Structure 1
């Protein structure tokens, strides 16, 4: 890697001399191919041109040069058939034979640059690019490209002056069209397809390149084009040139050898040219080479009279494509071609099958190659999506890839070391604060997080920065500075290359050239320009080191020595006692056990080093809490749990500020410690304290989840895991806000209930799509929540009481919706590597566990009216529609109100409710001396049953009682209606609120039963007993003993 980063050839010398030796003529734009550095540090993603838009032909006024023979453009196209059809008669039959292949390969690539540029920033995969580009076009970069007229542009560009001198008519034609962006028309592409042989094709391509390059150069220098247009124009030129060259040479090769056929599929095979680097991302330089990789789907042989193995066919095709694009002729070159990013580099085969590529990436792929493939984009062929699916697991890990930080830091050091070299001080790409560092910042964070968050996968640098800012992974101010610097440096880079069509990134050494560059960049003099450039590079340098600077290498302190050798001695005991640890011998024994455990001993060396580095840090942060020993034990359990996942260890090592947050969280709640230990992927959430403490909006949740699921479209397993990660992350954020005192119990329950609604809705949609296929009409199916979900009183570990309903007259509806309910419930409850969404209880459906899993609305209605027990009507008081078809949900809500408002015999109702309460108490015996907040007399269930009785007894006359607004609000309604004394209702409501608070606190400390000291709850228990007596007319004497 180091050698590849440091290997760089000398710049091309005077190419005019080369051409003069070969042709006796001086021409413009001729540069030979050169060996150059290949760095995997510039990535682009999310670049997919959509339907092209035609523009005016770029061929108008186009001089055609072949040695010293010049053809006027009018003659070229009026007699084009004479030029391209010289061998038509001899090739007509062969052309017919390969027509099916060339038709597939030669895709029309036609669009004007304005439309093309807009489409670069379109589509779900490139969302956020426009925002990013707008962000970075303001400020100091506005000075670039806005201060030259045509004469000044010519004075600056030696290339343009030579071109004007050699071909004045051509130059005049170009300057006459400068008001419009440079485009490639359908007639231009058609002309390339009609080329009769490789010489004719090479000639046309070189003239096309001269036209686009000159027009773009002049538009940019005279302020008519911005960076986006320049990159789009050159990228589009490369796409047209590559796709048409591949199509033509495939056709000509197939005339002799036939078309390649896959041995397994029996289908035609085409060469997939993968654009890497800036070509892959649509950010090609003005005078750039193109990094390519040649791939084909499968092995086999051609079907002609002179068959070749597919490998040989595509090798020959690749060599011809390279020659057509790369060779320097009297007309110059099209693009310099670099093939060194292919598997095994220069030592590897020119082309690889899918199998060979996948095998290489799995067995040989290195960290820097993940950068290289991060920006890869298929330019030709029909299986680009299949190729992307093959590459994706290599580039983007399934989970957050903090383990990559070690490799990233190595690359950072190489970049920083190279950038500090004296000979790179004036290099705006490779030097300190240069373009490469900006690209590396964006790409590194994409590699770490892109596997989990597809929205972070845009290929382009500006889109990537915008996406990172949108997710809060880079501060907006940092992104603004980096974006400004990127546009500034890229504009400077282009002006360096406009000077003489040379691929250079070196600032000129002499004062005159540097002053000319400054004027081209819109600055009055060289000194002002240097100051502005230095400001931009300093900003990049600062952000680069801030993100990837080495972790602190502190000298070993006393805690580190203790952890390295946790002997129980006086020195260590005193150290731990002074730090607040209650039982040093026990703690030292725990450390000894961990260091001697098989799990620790079997850790890879890198993981063990990280583990060892974290132990003293955990001691320090635990000592800063109110209960150091208990917190350290929790931290140690977490550390042991995650030790097998080096990425999590790397996260904690690389982000020291996470440790105090982690210790604070674990000190506040044993349940939080257990939850985080079960789901260590949530450690990533601690990186951004701002996002953690921001109370979310429910609509934001829906949009975020939809985006995440769309990123895994077509992969049900990844979508199931994405649902779990989303639910866990949002639960964790609410937990942090809860422990920070930012949420009341009622507000927290609202959020948890809303989260469940959103997750259930998304899971239902995914289940239906898997069952019926994408595009199927939505199901006439609803999910009804009962219990805590229905009453919006959900806790962190609550299960979900669900009932499934449908309203569909189709004969197959019962079976269809039963399968849907089964698939849905499996998706919710099944344990995967990412955990479980929720536990569910489906026994509240008609006829309970013995009933059908899904009920029609009609069956549900008949059951509730004719067969339901009183306790089932009690449960209905806390039921609500939570997900599915809104019409079915609305029908349920209507039926619910009807059932609740049925007249009832009060004596029977009272007996039924009291009997059920006694049964519930018997099912939850409390043999301790503590008070069970939920089940004991005077507890939460007493209040709930009293409210339910009042609803069923009086809703026929008082519709307000059917509102599902929670027990506290309903007690207030009962008081307002005169059903219970206001004093009793208020006291019971306060008791219920306090019980919920205490229950929540006890559960946060990991208790399975919500039980507290009884004496402290006596006033509240008495208030609840008084409510019970007032509602039911007698004290509950059976079961628990009397209070007091």
Structure 2
């Protein structure tokens, strides 16, 4: 038993917990005269009418409990989320305003946040992240015959026994209702609103708290309630108590001083009470304190006969609220109130205006405070959404913020010093594998990605785990284990607190108390309970270490020593040669240059430490590839590029398994190295190898992109960047699958073309919405893709040949759609901080670069029939509708088929096509001895021109030729129709396929021209030349020398 409770993780013997010491503070002179005698909380271990009492000041902290040496656990990490927006009344008639103001404040929670905790827990249950223990606990306990009956529950809870002894009728009334969950009705809230003064309100609140706490305690211990119900009941109690207390004291203060009025807006001001921690997350425990922050929108003065500055009004209001909730009377207390998470902590003012809060967060906000505000939730007031907009940029970064790991680890290390002085092994909240570590796991991942993915911002721990699982950021098995452990530990926590209404998380030391706790948790004896508890904590410990292990501890080996002092000596040279590096002096010179560079010298200390820690690791992983020196140089260039962004350095430090994947990727492709260096945000994609190697579904792409854009609704700049991030991420995933040999060239081109279609469609919708406003009828406008996009042969770096068409008779249509096309093209091609979507080429439109940017369908039809050149009809063979209005797109497809099927004079057609081919060759001279896969004779263009000629020559009789199915498939169709011999068509198709493969390989190595050794391609060039001769009836009359 003892050894189990005192276990440590494998990595270290320090306690894995986090505590921020928050000294309590008493606000002197804060209380109005009161007749009721109150008991100081420091001596409170339950209550009884005969218990001696003493007066107390308002306590804004909770420094002691049970005994004078007890140290309050941390309230360090919390979460933040959305609130309900309400419209302020502008009526300032004093009496009416006071009544209306207090009613609005009171109903902020009672009416508009009904069941918040119940909803979030039901969501976690629905997501299936609470398996095993949680869902069957009540049934299992009953089946084992080990749930407590009422007598046993009373025997376990000293608090319940004292309450029964003090108020037997009250106790009986509560126990008579145990078959139904203990709730708070509108009549309860209405009774609170009728309180005539603060003493009456305090009494009503304490009676309400007794009923809810006692009823929930008994339902839980007797197997009628589970964790979800307990947390929902206590959270609801806090919401109602706080909102009604704020409303009442606001009304009473306003009767003397008037209502606070904003100096700038002239509107009424109300106190916003922000619930932090478990209250904000809707997961308050049984005997919890409440962490609160008081804010108000703007400075000003009250409008009464005895005016006060708004700051003073709300400070007085805040002190009275604390007193009503926090002080102990003969009936006990409502909630222990902790105000130490406010700006500047105990040294700061009790209330802050929005301006003061924002100034503090920008100038003074620390890493741990981002965690503290993550769960924050406005419980009162009418400007919750405005507060959320103020807090969101502080909590969530726009980029992937891997620095969050380092901040949490730093706090975690600080606690180890305390862990050496205190034994937290028996603390189920702060000890190894405790509740806090589960919260850390969820919150750290939320902070890393929540800025980019709002769906990852649930306040509660279980909903956050569900969101992370849904996104694939935590394995489903890990989430199931963490969810089970969380519920198990919270159940144990509640039983510890049911014992004596004490805010404790310590497992009892004596055997008798341990056995009683085990029975309350549904176990037959203490031994069985300890084994089950150890299993749950071990699971949490394992997952916590996997995420937060000390990744940045630099191993003091030979590579590390070399990187610290990269001098060119025999020892270093031998080390590098043995590791496979081709030119050690050059590599050492590069390391010296980097360490002496201004960029390196100007790095913040934390970034420099990470940079230094990564260098030896990069040498190791590069040495494991087939070309160590080249790969290390690519890695070093990437490292230098990202060094100014500490989050990227943190990502690599925090996730060592990424480095071998990165080295493998960069060794396979110079283009991949360059692409990743341009878009380092894609490093994040390497974390999940499963998702990285899963072939995409196009409908899934559409749904994912729609979700990402909806998350930034109303922010066009963020949406433009979201489009870029999406396109880059999917391209990168395809690149990795390609380099892993999972995709054929044809399949890859299909995916890249589909990706472009989806991105262009989304960009068009965004552009139209910006021009016309949301809800405008869709434009009668279509985008037509030509070239590689039209033929679905897109490569990684291909530009897009586009033509814009519309079909709208409105007089303003030409100007309207011209603006749309311009905005769309700008959105696609402009370079932002997130990069560029695509390069576009718009010269294939009617009349080329000198023509209108947008054409009506009628103008397009007339141009194609009356004025288009033969090469423009050649281009039309590879054109297709890609985005926009389906009806306009269908009309284009009909017109395309009509144009392609026009009868043509074969002699003129042959001359036009061959002349254009010769011009293209002249425009791409090749003076090297290499073979240009695309432009040289016997290359890809020869095949494409031959196919296009056959389409234009014979489509009037053979409709099948108008299908846009790609050159290889069209060669097969031509053979089936007898237009070319099957043997020639098959050989040319195989040559085309191999040329595309070689072209792809060459481009992946970063080459600008797709050129290869000529001799190896002689058989294929001959096959293509034979096809050319068969189609055109003669060999080239101009161009390169004969093959062979």
| Offset of residue 222 of structure 1 | 2.2
1:100 paired with 2:138, answer no
| Offset of residue 748 of structure 1 | 0.9
* CA offset digits 1:404-435 (Å, max 9, x no partner): 33322122223455456554232211222211
Residue 843 of structure 2 aligns to a residue whose secondary structure is coil
Residue 292 of structure 2 aligns to a residue whose secondary structure is strand
Aligned partners of 1:53, 1:35: CA distance in 2, in Å? Answer: 13
Residue 508 of structure 1 aligns to a residue whose secondary structure is coil
CA gap of 1:654–1:285, structure 2 versus 1, over 3 A, is same
| Offset of residue 109 of structure 1 | 4.0
Aligned partners of 1:16, 1:941: CA distance in 2, in Å? Answer: 65
Aligned partners of 2:761, 2:125: CA distance in 1, in Å? Answer: 24
Conserved 8 A contact 1:788-1:798:
yes
Conserved 8 A contact 2:790-2:880:
yes
| Offset of residue 278 of structure 1 | 0.3
CA gap of 1:178–1:251, structure 2 versus 1, over 3 A, is same
Residue 452 of structure 1 aligns to a residue whose secondary structure is coil
Aligned partners of 1:592, 1:69: CA distance in 2, in Å? Answer: 55
Conserved 8 A contact 1:301-1:307:
yes
* CA offset digits 1:477-520 (Å, max 9, x no partner): 22222111100000111112222222221222332222222111
After TM superposition, the structure 1 stretch with the greater mean CA deviation from structure 2, 364-373 or 881-890, is 881-890
CA gap of 1:803–1:21, structure 2 versus 1, over 3 A, is closer
* CA offset digits 1:730-754 (Å, max 9, x no partner): 1111111111111111111111111
Conserved 8 A contact 1:84-1:196:
no
CA gap of 1:998–1:69, structure 2 versus 1, over 3 A, is closer
| Offset of residue 127 of structure 1 | 8.2
CA gap of 1:290–1:166, structure 2 versus 1, over 3 A, is same
Aligned partners of 2:245, 2:695: CA distance in 1, in Å? Answer: 55
Conserved 8 A contact 1:144-1:488:
no
Where do 5+ consecutive residues of structure 1 fail to align? none
Conserved 8 A contact 1:62-1:73:
no
1:282 equivalent in structure 2: 282
| Offset of residue 235 of structure 1 | 0.9
CA gap of 1:522–1:121, structure 2 versus 1, over 3 A, is closer
After TM superposition, the structure 1 stretch with the greater mean CA deviation from structure 2, 819-828 or 970-979, is 819-828
Conserved 8 A contact 2:441-2:547:
yes
Aligned partners of 2:449, 2:749: CA distance in 1, in Å? Answer: 30
Aligned partners of 1:724, 1:170: CA distance in 2, in Å? Answer: 64
Conserved 8 A contact 2:81-2:374:
no
Alignment of 1:766-785 (within 5 A): 766-785=766-785
After TM superposition, the structure 1 stretch with the greater mean CA deviation from structure 2, 492-501 or 246-255, is 246-255
CA gap of 1:51–1:704, structure 2 versus 1, over 3 A, is farther
Conserved 8 A contact 2:147-2:222:
yes
Q: TM-score, normalised by structure 2?
A: 0.88
Aligned partners of 1:815, 1:121: CA distance in 2, in Å? Answer: 53
CA gap of 1:418–1:540, structure 2 versus 1, over 3 A, is farther
| Offset of residue 974 of structure 1 | 1.2
Aligned partners of 1:517, 1:271: CA distance in 2, in Å? Answer: 42
| Offset of residue 356 of structure 1 | 0.9
| Offset of residue 245 of structure 1 | 1.7
* CA offset digits 1:852-894 (Å, max 9, x no partner): 2223333333333333222222222212222223333233223
Aligned partners of 1:933, 1:963: CA distance in 2, in Å? Answer: 26
Conserved 8 A contact 1:930-1:1012:
yes
Conserved 8 A contact 1:631-1:667:
yes
| Offset of residue 20 of structure 1 | 34
Aligned partners of 1:889, 1:50: CA distance in 2, in Å? Answer: 85
* CA offset digits 1:243-294 (Å, max 9, x no partner): 2222222222222222222222222222111110000110001111110101
Aligned partners of 1:38, 1:62: CA distance in 2, in Å? Answer: 16
* CA offset digits 1:904-923 (Å, max 9, x no partner): 33223222222222222222
CA gap of 1:272–1:17, structure 2 versus 1, over 3 A, is closer
| Offset of residue 80 of structure 1 | 39
| Offset of residue 215 of structure 1 | 2.2
Aligned partners of 1:735, 1:49: CA distance in 2, in Å? Answer: 74
After TM superposition, the structure 1 stretch with the greater mean CA deviation from structure 2, 141-150 or 174-183, is 141-150
1:322 equivalent in structure 2: 322
Aligned partners of 2:670, 2:424: CA distance in 1, in Å? Answer: 54
Aligned partners of 1:1010, 1:614: CA distance in 2, in Å? Answer: 35
After TM superposition, the structure 1 stretch with the greater mean CA deviation from structure 2, 850-859 or 828-837, is 850-859
2:295 equivalent in structure 1: 295
Aligned partners of 1:264, 1:835: CA distance in 2, in Å? Answer: 41
Conserved 8 A contact 2:24-2:59:
no
Aligned partners of 2:546, 2:664: CA distance in 1, in Å? Answer: 26
1:925 equivalent in structure 2: 925
CA gap of 1:10–1:322, structure 2 versus 1, over 3 A, is farther
Residue 805 of structure 1 aligns to a residue whose secondary structure is strand
Conserved 8 A contact 1:23-1:330:
no
Residue 399 of structure 2 aligns to a residue whose secondary structure is coil
1:212 paired with 2:224, answer no
Alignment of 1:586-735 (within 5 A): 586-735=586-735
2:578 equivalent in structure 1: 578
| Offset of residue 674 of structure 1 | 0.7
After TM superposition, the structure 1 stretch with the greater mean CA deviation from structure 2, 192-201 or 276-285, is 192-201
After TM superposition, the structure 1 stretch with the greater mean CA deviation from structure 2, 873-882 or 435-444, is 873-882
After TM superposition, the structure 1 stretch with the greater mean CA deviation from structure 2, 787-796 or 41-50, is 41-50
After TM superposition, the structure 1 stretch with the greater mean CA deviation from structure 2, 62-71 or 587-596, is 62-71
Residue 21 of structure 1 aligns to a residue whose secondary structure is coil
| Offset of residue 573 of structure 1 | 2.4
| Offset of residue 841 of structure 1 | 1.2
| Offset of residue 993 of structure 1 | 0.3
CA gap of 1:797–1:140, structure 2 versus 1, over 3 A, is farther
| Offset of residue 799 of structure 1 | 0.8
After TM superposition, the structure 1 stretch with the greater mean CA deviation from structure 2, 850-859 or 945-954, is 850-859
RMSD: 9.6
| Offset of residue 956 of structure 1 | 2.3
| Offset of residue 308 of structure 1 | 1.6
Aligned partners of 1:617, 1:900: CA distance in 2, in Å? Answer: 59
CA gap of 1:799–1:197, structure 2 versus 1, over 3 A, is same
| Offset of residue 85 of structure 1 | 31
| Offset of residue 798 of structure 1 | 0.6
Aligned partners of 1:781, 1:264: CA distance in 2, in Å? Answer: 46
After TM superposition, the structure 1 stretch with the greater mean CA deviation from structure 2, 165-174 or 477-486, is 165-174
* CA offset digits 1:97-134 (Å, max 9, x no partner): 43443344232644899965553368999988789998
| Offset of residue 1033 of structure 1 | 1.9
| Offset of residue 996 of structure 1 | 0.3
| Offset of residue 73 of structure 1 | 39
CA gap of 1:118–1:706, structure 2 versus 1, over 3 A, is farther
Conserved 8 A contact 1:57-1:188:
no
Aligned partners of 1:22, 1:14: CA distance in 2, in Å? Answer: 22
1:562 equivalent in structure 2: 562
Conserved 8 A contact 1:16-1:26:
no
CA gap of 1:794–1:217, structure 2 versus 1, over 3 A, is same
CA gap of 1:118–1:424, structure 2 versus 1, over 3 A, is closer
* CA offset digits 1:659-709 (Å, max 9, x no partner): 222111111111111111111111222222222222222222222222222
Q: TM-score, normalised by structure 1?
A: 0.88
* CA offset digits 1:750-803 (Å, max 9, x no partner): 111111122222222222232233333333332222111111111110111122
Aligned partners of 1:77, 1:570: CA distance in 2, in Å? Answer: 52
* CA offset digits 1:203-224 (Å, max 9, x no partner): 2222222222222222222222
CA gap of 1:925–1:660, structure 2 versus 1, over 3 A, is same
CA gap of 1:567–1:13, structure 2 versus 1, over 3 A, is closer
Conserved 8 A contact 2:124-2:130:
no
Aligned partners of 1:758, 1:52: CA distance in 2, in Å? Answer: 73
Residue 68 of structure 1 aligns to a residue whose secondary structure is coil
Aligned partners of 1:698, 1:83: CA distance in 2, in Å? Answer: 35
